[in-house]
Amino acid sequence: MHSDPKYPLQLRRLQVRVENILKGDVSRGTVAVYYFTFAGEFDGPRPLGMWSVESRRILWLRREAGVLRTACDGWDGCTWEVYSGAHPHFTIAHQKPIDYAVADILLTRGEGKVNDRRFARAVQLGAPSPEDYLIEKYQHLAVTEGLTIKTAACIQLGICAQDRGASQSLRNIAREAMRQADCGCITKPDGMPDCGANADIRSDPPR
């Protein structure tokens, strides 16, 4: 742990109910997780611990001194809020990198009540996974979901289709995915895709 004198840290304990184990030997059920968060005022992005009550998150943890603790301190760079619902029957493909499982959780509608506006915002934030796999996930959402989430998925496909850092093959795959999903996007003067009304998506706070 590295503490900044400007932002002193304090240790806190959190009870977490484990729904899925993507990697490691954490027990299912309720476990205690320890984390260091700011002891006073702060100025910057969202710190650890400022989470909604009973929110669902992906946490990166490590074992230290016989307990579980978050992989980061202070600023929250080691958790992802999950807006896609519960995934109690999720099965991880162990032969693939962990990023695939993270994308599956974040970008697949699960069980229970899902706030479509927040889920759409999460779709726009993306996931840490290979771009070809993300294109596949966005296309599925654009084909199967309602207008709010479809718009967010189409925007992501439009960004992939114009990504000059990606190969021509990937850009072509993204364009074909947009065509099959009937995205109907146009390119705005700033180069970004316009795939329909998305004010509600933009207004949701980031993860």
The residue extents of the domains of the chain are 1-81, 87-207
Report residues of the chain scoring pLDDT below 50. 205-206
Closest CA to 120 of 98, 105, 142: 142
Closest CA to 129 of 161, 154, 97, 171: 97
Per-residue confidence (pLDDT) for residue 6, from 0 to 100: 66
Per-residue confidence (pLDDT) for residue 185, from 0 to 100: 85
